[in-house]
Structure 1
Amino acid sequence: MNTTPRTVLVTGAAGGMARGVNARLARAGHTVLCADFDADGARRAAETIIADGGAAADFRVDVASAESVHRLGDAVRAAGHEVDVVLNAAGVLDRRYLVDHDDESFDRAIQINLVGPFRVIQEFGPAMVERGWGRIINVSSIAGVTGYPYPSYAASKAGLSNLGRSLVKDFRGTGVTVNAICPGVVDTPMVIDEVRRQVAAKVPTGQIIDPEEIGALAVFLITDDARNINGADLLIDGGATRFYELFD
């Protein structure tokens, strides 16, 4: 795909899924700003991109902290970067059922998965508006579409998808689009064997999602060919949302 090189801020860049995303972005010619709570992980992610011939830099951020997100903005600008694309991939999956949650654990998931992306968009979105171009890509989940046995994850991802749809009005006429990528089960170290077996048996394609598939869609959304894709939930799930009982 032909695309203008952009500067892409990826939160959660040290995670298993984001590494595939980082690779696809870098191969498409984009500069990847790797931000993560794990500073060493963010550094390694950037070093991997650079070793493969791409352009990258690393930053530490705790998206659950407004102050930390502001510091990230200051650090990115001080390093001379203008963020064209925000890709919110930072997230947490809390495998607790309703009766196991307390206020603190539930709030943590909401802060990282929903409030964090809001803070990052609020920090970097206005500059996109000033420049008349930008892309905001939120990594949501099919759990936000179908529900999920782990309520904090499902609720936060549903909120993230609806946040993106709602922000379309805020960015109307500015050249900035907002979309959500909603993956099914992605092939990362977090996926337990039982879930892999369920995917093979129940997902119509029988396949787990490769992280680079998420990256490929993100690369497309950055192109001008995707300029009229806005406010969308884009599913990469092998047809899993057609089977709500997938994780019963």
Structure 2
Amino acid sequence: MNMQKQRTVLVTGAAGGMCRGINARLGAAGHMVLCADLSLEAAETAAGTVREAGGRAEAFAVDVTDHDSVAALADSVHDRVGEIDVLINAAGILDRKYLKDHDASSFERTIDINLVGPFRLIQRFAPDMVERAWGRIINISSIAGVTGYPYPSYAASKGGLSNLTRSLVIDMWGTGVTVNSICPGVVDTPMVIQEVRDQVPRKVPTEQIIDPDEIGGVALFLISDDAKNINGADILVDGGATRFFQLFDRQ
């Protein structure tokens, strides 16, 4: 890949399972990884893993549901590191509730973390990218946002995130900033329950669970100059599952 320049990358939800691969691939490529998570201790652990592998990393605390917390993160990043080049919105939750089990507060919490959270981060950090005429925004969506899902709050939040990605292309028109989504299928993280893992051989054409490192590889490509004309895309990393099957049987 044509990397050309090392970048400063802010990753939210950096202590999550999928971000193991994202952080590792970015750090190994020489990028500065700013690991942000709800818990500073968890963020420090994620940053420490990058450093142990020879990469550069810093840790930050942020609550993506809180406007003031996001503002404080931006100030802290600016004071300690400077401007960021890349924002990866990976913070998210999966609330395993069917429609009958939801109340308004539980639905709204998922939307706030998975959809409004990325919006807050983008609104805070994108203007600096626009001013410098270069930037990459990568939203970690899901195949649930493409096909639907039995858990309506998760599907709605990820569908909204993918559409936010497409819509922001208009705002970033001609600015040098691109906005894309990565839509993983079944990734080998603690979030994936055994029921789903058991269905992979018969519902995913490659018969494979995705390694977090693969998601990191896609993120690394999107940062490279080879991806400068990929914009507004939902990049499916799912083994072909969304083309032929649904990952869940009807309850």
TM > 0.5: yes
Q: Does 1:2 align with 2:2?
A: yes
Match of 2:172 in 1: 171
- Please give the alpha-carbon distance, in whole angstroms, between the structure 1 residues aligned to 2:140 and 2:2: 23
Match of 2:43 in 1: 42
Match of 2:146 in 1: 145
Unaligned runs of 5+ in 2: none
Match of 2:162 in 1: 161
**SS of corresponding position for 2:169:** helix
- Please give the alpha-carbon distance, in whole angstroms, between the structure 2 residues aligned to 1:210 and 1:184: 10
1:204-231 CA distances to partner (integer Å, 9 max, x unpaired)?
Answer: 0000111011110100001111000000
Alpha-carbon contact 2:133-2:177 (below 8 Å) kept: yes
1:81, distance to aligned residue in structure 2 (A) = 2.4
TM norm structure 2: 0.97
Q: How many residues align?
A: 248
- Please give the alpha-carbon distance, in whole angstroms, between the structure 2 residues aligned to 1:235 and 1:169: 22
1:128-172 CA distances to partner (integer Å, 9 max, x unpaired)?
Answer: 001110000000000000000000000000000000100001011
**SS of corresponding position for 1:247:** coil
Name the CA shift for 1:49/1:245 in 2 (closer, same or farther; >3 Å). closer
**SS of corresponding position for 2:246:** helix
1:165-187 CA distances to partner (integer Å, 9 max, x unpaired)?
Answer: 00001011010000000000110
- Please give the alpha-carbon distance, in whole angstroms, between the structure 1 residues aligned to 2:2 and 2:227: 12
1:242, distance to aligned residue in structure 2 (A) = 1.7
Percent sequence identity over matched residues?
70
Match of 1:225 in 2: 226
1:233, distance to aligned residue in structure 2 (A) = 0.4
Match of 1:240 in 2: 241
- Please give the alpha-carbon distance, in whole angstroms, between the structure 2 residues aligned to 1:40 and 1:125: 27
Which shows bigger deviation, 191-200 or 118-127? 191-200
Match of 1:128 in 2: 129
- Please give the alpha-carbon distance, in whole angstroms, between the structure 1 residues aligned to 2:66 and 2:29: 31
1:246, distance to aligned residue in structure 2 (A) = 2.3
1:92, distance to aligned residue in structure 2 (A) = 0.3
Alpha-carbon contact 1:181-1:235 (below 8 Å) kept: yes
Given residue 94 of structure 2, which amino acid in structure 1 is its aligned partner? L
- Please give the alpha-carbon distance, in whole angstroms, between the structure 2 residues aligned to 1:45 and 1:186: 18
**SS of corresponding position for 2:247:** helix
TM norm structure 1: 0.98
Alpha-carbon contact 1:23-1:212 (below 8 Å) kept: yes
Unaligned runs of 5+ in 1: none
Match of 2:68 in 1: 67
- Please give the alpha-carbon distance, in whole angstroms, between the structure 2 residues aligned to 1:50 and 1:245: 39
| C-alpha RMSD over aligned residues | 0.8
- Please give the alpha-carbon distance, in whole angstroms, between the structure 1 residues aligned to 2:218 and 2:191: 22
List structure 1 runs of 4+ shifted beyond 3 angstroms. Answer: none
Alpha-carbon contact 2:35-2:59 (below 8 Å) kept: yes
Alpha-carbon contact 1:146-1:244 (below 8 Å) kept: no
1:244, distance to aligned residue in structure 2 (A) = 4.0
**SS of corresponding position for 2:138:** strand
Given residue 239 of structure 2, which amino acid in structure 1 is its aligned partner? G
Alpha-carbon contact 1:144-1:159 (below 8 Å) kept: yes
Match of 1:191 in 2: 192
